[in-house]
Amino acid sequence: MSSVITTVEGLAALLAAQKSAFTAEGAVDAAERRRRIQQVIDLLVAWHKPLAAAMDEDFGHRPQGFSLMNDVLGSLASLKHARDHLEDWMQPQERQPFAPYDQLGAKARVLYQPKGSVGIIGTWNAPLFTLLSPLAYVLAAGNRAILKPSEIAPRTAEVLAAACAEHLDPLLVGVAVGGVEMAEGMTRQPFDHLVFTGSTAVGKAVMRNAADNLVPVTLELGGKSPTIVSRSADLATAAFRIAAAKAANGGQLCVNPDLIYVPREQLEAFLAELKGAYASLFPQVQGNPDVVAVVNARHLARVEGLVEDAIAAGVRVESLPEASAADPQDRRRPLRVVVDPPADRRIQQEEIFGPAMVLLPYDAIDAVLADINARPRPLALYWFGTDEAEQQRVLEHTLSGGVTINDAMMHAAMQDAPFGGIGASGMGHYHGREGFLEFSHARTVFEAGSYDPRREWGLLPPYGEHFLAA
C-alpha cells in the first residue's frame, strides 16, 4: 500500500487498513512507541534541507534558518519530549473502588489506551510543525495517523510525502495530498480522532462533519492575540519583544501579537520604540533574506485590504520601515501599524495573520479587559509590566488559550505544558502530558474480588423495604 494518498477513496482504504492493523496489534509498549517516534526524528534529520528549501519555495521567500528553527527544531522538540516522557505518561493509575468493594478484594485502575487512527490536518503557515508536533503526541499515545498537509504549501506537502514514503510504514503514518476536497473528505471519515489546525470558520465545518461519525476533535484555531502594555512596563523592552514576535514568519503565526493596548499618554513613545526595534531587525524588507514573504498574492491582497479599509476611515497608518516603491513580485512587505481604528473597521474584527498590527490607546486597564472580553476568546494573551496586582487582575478577568508575560508566543513553544485554544480559538491540547491524554482513551477497569456481598446486603432483587427505612 502506498503511503501517499491522492484520492478520498484511497484515504478511506488506508484508514480501514490502519484500523485493522491497529486492532490486530493491540496497544503497543513504550519501547515500540519510542521506536516509531524515532523514525520520524530520523526522517527530519535526513530530510531537513529539502524540507526547508520547499518551505522557501512555497512562501516565495522564507529564510531556511527560520524554517529550521520554527518547523524542524519545533517539531523535533515535540518528538523528543514525547519520546522521553511517554513511558511515564502511559503508566496505569491505581484508583479506589467504591465501598464496600474496596474492603472486599476489588481493585480498580485507569488504563491510558490508544484510540486508533488519528487524522491530522495542517496549515500552510507552519506546514511541518502543524503536522509533526501533534503527530509526536499521537504516536506517544500509541496511535496511527494520516497527515493532510495544506495545499497552499504544495512543495512542502510533496517533499514531506516523499520523506514519509521513505521512512514510515503507511499503516503507521500515511500522507493524504490534495486540496479542500481531500481535506473535507478527511473530515467525513470515521477516524478515531481528528486534529485540525486552521481558521475558526473552517474549524466549525470540520466539527460539523466530524459529528456525523461522532469523531472527537482537537481544534487549533486562530484569534487576535491581545497584547497589553501596562503602565508599569519598560516601554523599550515591550516594544522590542512585540516587534520581534510580530516579525516572526512575516506575522503569519497563530500567536503573533495582533491588537496592542498601549497607555494613551505613552502611544507616541511606544510607536517610536517600535520603529527603532523594527529597524534594528529589518533596515529594509524587500530583498532582505531575513524577511518571510506573505505566502501568496491572495493573502497579500487580504492583509492590504484590512489596512486599506482602515485608511478609508481616515485612520493613521505607519509603515515600518518607511514604505518605498514596492516590487509587486516580492511579497516581503513592511509592517503596517494601524493606530486606533474605529471598532467597526475590519482590522479590529478579523485576524490579521500578516505584516500589520493595531495599536489601541487606553486610559484604564478595566476598559482594556472589557474590550478583550467583548471579543471572541483568543488563542494567546500577552501582558507586559511589573505591577503584580495588575497582572493578577488580567489573569483572573480574561480567558485565552495561553498566556506569556513580559514577552510574546513563548508559552506556545513549551513542550512541558499544554498548547491549545478556548472558545473561538479552539478546543483540546497537544504538547506535554495533556497532549498524550488528548489522544488516549482513559479506560477504567474494575476488577471484582472473589467475595460478592450483594445478596447478603440486600442489593439484589427482591429489594424488600430496607432502603425505604434508610
- Which of these ranges, 42-50, 101-109, 125-133, 230-238, lies near ligand NAD under the rule CB under 6 A? 125-133
The residue type of 443 is R
Task: Report the nearest approach of ligand NAD to the CB of residue 162 (Å).
Answer: 18
- Using CB under 6 A as the binding rule, the residues of this chain from 168 to 187 that contact ligand NAD are 180, 183-184, 187
Contact of 306 with 352, CB cutoff 8 Å: yes
Q: Does the CA dihedral 325-245-291-295 come out positive or negative?
A: negative
Q: Which is nearer to ligand NAD, 127 or 142 (CB)?
A: 127
Interaction of residue 434 with ligand NAD, rule CB under 6 A: no
Q: Which is nearer to ligand NAD, 263 or 418 (CB)?
A: 418
- Residue from 59, 66, 124, 436 touching ligand NAD (CB under 6 A): that is 124
Q: Which residues contact 232 (CB under 8 A, 6 or more apart)?
A: 385, 386, 387, 390
Q: Which is nearer to ligand NAD, 6 or 38 (CB)?
A: 6
Interaction of residue 130 with ligand NAD, rule CB under 6 A: yes
Task: Report the nearest approach of ligand NAD to the CB of residue 419 (Å).
Answer: 7
CA distance 243 to 251: 10
Interaction of residue 136 with ligand NAD, rule CB under 6 A: no
- DSSP assignment letter at 205: H
Number of residues in contact with ligand NAD under rule CB under 6 A: 30
Task: Report the nearest approach of ligand NAD to the CB of residue 101 (Å).
Answer: 44
Q: Which of 86, 83, 133, 93 is nearest to 442 (CA)?
A: 93
Task: Report the nearest approach of ligand NAD to the CB of residue 174 (Å).
Answer: 15
C-alpha 349 chain-centroid distance: 21
Strands 316-320 and 335-339: antiparallel
CA distance 247 to 231: 24
- DSSP assignment letter at 70: I
Q: Which of 245, 244, 337, 329 is nearest to 282 (CA)?
A: 244
Interaction of residue 120 with ligand NAD, rule CB under 6 A: no
Q: Which residues contact 427 (CB under 8 A, 6 or more apart)?
A: 217, 218, 219, 420, 421
**Catalytic sites, residue numbers:** 220
Q: Match 480501514 to its residue by C-alpha cell.
A: 16
Q: Which is nearer to ligand NAD, 220 or 273 (CB)?
A: 220
- Using CB under 6 A as the binding rule, the residues of this chain from 348 to 407 that contact ligand NAD are 351, 353, 379
- Residue from 3, 78, 125, 348 touching ligand NAD (CB under 6 A): that is 125
Task: Report the nearest approach of ligand NAD to the CB of residue 331 (Å).
Answer: 15
CA distance 94 to 289: 55
- Residue from 254, 307, 372, 424 touching ligand NAD (CB under 6 A): that is 254
The residue type of 189 is Q
CA distance 290 to 307: 24
- Using CB under 6 A as the binding rule, the residues of this chain from 197 to 236 that contact ligand NAD are 197-199, 202, 205-206, 220-222
Contact of 183 with 156, CB cutoff 8 Å: no
Q: Does the CA dihedral 236-241-244-247 come out positive or negative?
A: negative
Class of residue 468 by CB neighbours under 10 A (exposed 0-12, middle 13-18, buried 19+): exposed
Q: Which is nearer to ligand NAD, 258 or 273 (CB)?
A: 258
Q: Which is nearer to ligand NAD, 52 or 157 (CB)?
A: 157
- Which of these ranges, 99-107, 117-125, 300-308, 445-453, lies near ligand NAD under the rule CB under 6 A? 117-125
The verdict on whether omega for the bond into residue 334 sits within 30 degrees of 0, i.e. cis, is no
Tell me which residue has its CB nearest to ligand NAD.
222
- Residue from 37, 118, 126, 300 touching ligand NAD (CB under 6 A): that is 126
- Using CB under 6 A as the binding rule, the residues of this chain from 301 to 330 that contact ligand NAD are none
CA distance 266 to 263: 5
**Residues near ligand NAD, by CB under 6 A:** 121-126, 130, 148, 150-152, 180, 183-184, 187, 197-199, 202, 205-206, 220-222, 254, 351, 353, 379, 421, 426
